[in-house]
Structure 1
Amino acid sequence: MNAFTRHLANIARLGVKELWSLWRDPMMLVLIVYLFTVAVYSSARAIPETLHMAAIAVVDEDHSPLSQRIIGDFYPPLFTRPAVITRDEMDAGMDTGAYTFVLNIPPDFQRDVLAGRAPAVQLNVDATRMSQAFSGSGYIQQIVLGEVQDFTRRYRASTTLPVDLNARMRFNPSLTQAWFGGAMQYVNYITLVSILLTGAALIREREHGTIEHLLVMPVTPTEIMLGKVWAMGLVVLVAAGLSLGVMLRGVLGMPIEGSASLFLAGVALHLFATTSMGIFLATVARTMPQFGLLVMLTILPMQMLSGGSTPFESMPLFVQRVMQVAPTTHFVELAQAILYRGAGIDVVYKPFLILALIGSALFALSLSRFRKTISQMA
């Protein structure tokens, strides 16, 4: 057996050892399954940006055709069927949280509108429900003003403009927010799990004393590190592939426009960088609590400023330049291009190359730090 074959055999055996260690850690396995299933679904369905089934009630003190037309304009899926209540029930309904919006139409509302006066309509909003309060109040104002305008004209009509603007929604024609929220959190969990697995594997060996056993074996620090990288990376890659097909495409019904194989190739390249980062953080931390704090300080800025939550172009120029060295920025770019827009390798080759460079740099830095840590322990 030549030297190269022996190195490959050692890396393979060390990786299998990592897989067996992970298999004996049920809490970590449960975490992986949870993040790529329940957490992805929850991220897609929770806190929608668009208005959906907002609870509304109307205090109709006018009982006129105009007030009835306004009430009839509130219907699913933006609002629930409006509950017609009295003024005495309004405060109690708001206090108990039964209604997010309560619209109070005053007496003689239609008569004042026809007389050219400007009657006041009161809109009560439960501002604790921030996800619906802001957008919902805007919808209600448009509905009320639109009905009043149509009623005073005696007919429904649209003003003819000199320019005809046709809006066409590409890549997400139905504007389904769950597709974006679920996919971006899925991308974030790939980064998070890969860093946690590799870092926890190294710290676990240090706490259990098995790292000293490796030092007396005929293996090099490079082989030890490569064994951890390929084993933990393979686990995350398999979990990501299953979640892509089962959760995103199956449960959430998200159409995958591009090649799933190309995307998973990008995932593998990204995992090369993030698993190396996980080992580097594990060499800095001495215990699992310290490692957890380091992960929080690292992963939160990387995910928030990667372009997954807000458009990358809307960030300050300084932040954009700094985030060019983070692997998450380029991973989000290729993920959005492939999953949403069906981009091919001719479009995403640049983030692929940058990820390869960043991964190589992180691997070299982590290997240097890992060798120093091993020498100190020896």
Structure 2
Amino acid sequence: MIKMMLSRVWWSRLQAMTWKELLQLLRDPILLVFVIYAFTADIYNAASGVSFQLNNAALVLFDLDRSAASRELAGRFMPPEFKWLGGITHNEQGQALLDDGKAMAVLDIPPGFGAKLARGEQQSVQLQIDASNSVQGFLASVDATQIIARYGLEQMATRLGAESGGVAGAPPAIDNATRVWFNPNQNDAWFMGISELLNVVTLFSMLLPAAAMVREKERGTIEQLLVSPLSPLQIMMPKIIAMVAVILGGIALGLFGILIPVFSIPVVGSLLVFFAVSTLYVSTLAGIGILIATVTNNMAQAGMMVILILAPMMFLSGAWTPPEAMPVVMRLGMYVSPLYYYINASYGILMKGAGLMVLWPMLVGIIVIGMMVSTVTILKFKKQFG
């Protein structure tokens, strides 16, 4: 009976403290607006404004041949990948446009291009590309190579047909049938929208618990809590529970308010599993946030610590750089980033419909990191406030 009464008291205190944390967040309008903005407008901007496809790359033509063949080749550089700025008469003009950033590429067709092709001679063209933006420069190079190679193959096939009097069979070819799974239209908004949602979750999972604890230090209320009948665990746990609830609400807002209705992102898997994995992940990072609060004394220090941890966590997540492309040391460091496991699990659930039988390695990774973080956080918290 006594144990039951003590248990009820313990849970009532936990409930009251959790409600107190939620009220404190509601009374902080700046932080509250920041949270709402991040889970709505920020996700919308990332999904609608970032593209990994080549689009409207400014191109100028330096045509020294002015033949039907050169015009046909130039005409194949079409929107939406390329945007023509016009022609130039001197090579220095193209160099100046590249230097000033007004053009991304200069297509240089040499004199005699069409005549040499008609005689069956090998011919080449030059494409100068501004690769200061390495991603866009690489995409421009790949697209231009495909356009020129296709044009060359068509010219060769036409000449072979003419030489044989048009009676020979078609030249051998490989039928390349490509099937794109999970994002068949290769819509960047699907990837960028989900990626930004996960990044925002990662940021606030550490920032909000750290801010809640540091606020107690700055206002001097932590001493009042320490002399109350509350245990250190009853002081720490409500902050984690309240902020986990707020972030799960933010995930629901971003998912059902922005990603699904605006960008038509398909949710193939179970939303229940997704929110369960998100709860586990947010709880893990909330422990890191409380740990940050134990070693900082104000919001500025806590914010800097969050950024210090967030930056390598994002770079080691595998979202921007494939793990196979990373150096061995960085690849090993990736396995201690909880965001790596969360990204794989989230994309697996939302876009691939993966279940727990497939996702269990990701869950084990989050759980192991969470247990380690929780152990260190509880020991540090009890040492400082116990």
Please indicate, yes or no, whether the TM-score normalized by the shorter chain is above 0.5: yes
Provide the residue aligned with 2:104 in structure 1: 100
- Percent identity of the aligned residues? 34
- Matched to 1:154, the amino acid is T
Deviation at 1:321, TM superposition (A): 4.7
Deviation at 1:204, TM superposition (A): 1.1
- Matched to 1:193, the amino acid is F
Alignment partner of 1:15 out of 18, 33, 36: 18
Provide the residue aligned with 2:79 in structure 1: 76
Provide the residue aligned with 2:145 in structure 1: 141
SS in structure 2 at match of 1:154: helix
Query: Taking structure 1 as reference, are residues 315 and 145 closer, same or farther at Cα in structure 2, changes over 3 Å only?
Result: closer
Report the Cα distance in structure 2 between the residues aligned to 1:219 and 1:365, rounded to whole angstroms: 21
* CA contact 2:40–2:253 (8 Å) conserved in 1: no
Provide the residue aligned with 1:187 in structure 2: 198
Alignment partner of 1:245 out of 256, 279, 292: 256
- Matched to 1:240, the amino acid is I
Deviation at 1:10, TM superposition (A): 1.0
TM superposition score normalised by structure 2: 0.87
Report the Cα distance in structure 2 between the residues aligned to 1:65 and 1:148, rounded to whole angstroms: 15
SS in structure 2 at match of 1:87: coil
Unaligned 5+ runs, structure 1: none
1:188-213, CA deviations, whole angstroms, 9 ceiling, x for partnerless residues? 22111110000011111101111112
Query: Taking structure 1 as reference, are residues 350 and 142 closer, same or farther at Cα in structure 2, changes over 3 Å only?
Result: closer
The RMSD of aligned alpha carbons is: 2.6
Report the Cα distance in structure 1 between the residues aligned to 2:160 and 2:292, rounded to whole angstroms: 65
Query: Taking structure 1 as reference, are residues 42 and 96 closer, same or farther at Cα in structure 2, changes over 3 Å only?
Result: same
Provide the residue aligned with 1:168 in structure 2: 179
Deviation at 1:360, TM superposition (A): 3.5
- Matched to 1:131, the amino acid is V
1:130-151, CA deviations, whole angstroms, 9 ceiling, x for partnerless residues? 3322220232233224324423
Query: Taking structure 1 as reference, are residues 231 and 44 closer, same or farther at Cα in structure 2, changes over 3 Å only?
Result: same
SS in structure 2 at match of 1:337: helix
Query: Taking structure 1 as reference, are residues 10 and 313 closer, same or farther at Cα in structure 2, changes over 3 Å only?
Result: farther
Report the Cα distance in structure 2 between the residues aligned to 1:311 and 1:50, rounded to whole angstroms: 18
SS in structure 1 at match of 2:106: strand
Matched, 1:335 2:346: yes
* CA contact 2:18–2:242 (8 Å) conserved in 1: yes
- Which moves more between the two structures, 86-95 or 53-62? 86-95
Report the Cα distance in structure 2 between the residues aligned to 1:38 and 1:155, rounded to whole angstroms: 56
Provide the residue aligned with 2:158 in structure 1: 154
Provide the residue aligned with 1:86 in structure 2: 88
1:157-193, CA deviations, whole angstroms, 9 ceiling, x for partnerless residues? 98524x6443211111112233222212321221111
SS in structure 2 at match of 1:104: strand
Query: Taking structure 1 as reference, are residues 215 and 324 closer, same or farther at Cα in structure 2, changes over 3 Å only?
Result: same
Provide the residue aligned with 2:210 in structure 1: 199
Report the Cα distance in structure 2 between the residues aligned to 1:227 and 1:113, rounded to whole angstroms: 76
SS in structure 1 at match of 2:261: helix
1:256-283, CA deviations, whole angstroms, 9 ceiling, x for partnerless residues? 2211221011101111111111001110
Deviation at 1:294, TM superposition (A): 2.1
TM superposition score normalised by structure 1: 0.89
* CA contact 1:36–1:243 (8 Å) conserved in 2: yes
Unaligned 5+ runs, structure 2: 162-169
- Matched to 1:294, the amino acid is M
Deviation at 1:70, TM superposition (A): 1.0
* CA contact 2:281–2:366 (8 Å) conserved in 1: yes
Provide the residue aligned with 2:63 in structure 1: 60
* CA contact 1:114–1:152 (8 Å) conserved in 2: no
Deviation at 1:156, TM superposition (A): 10
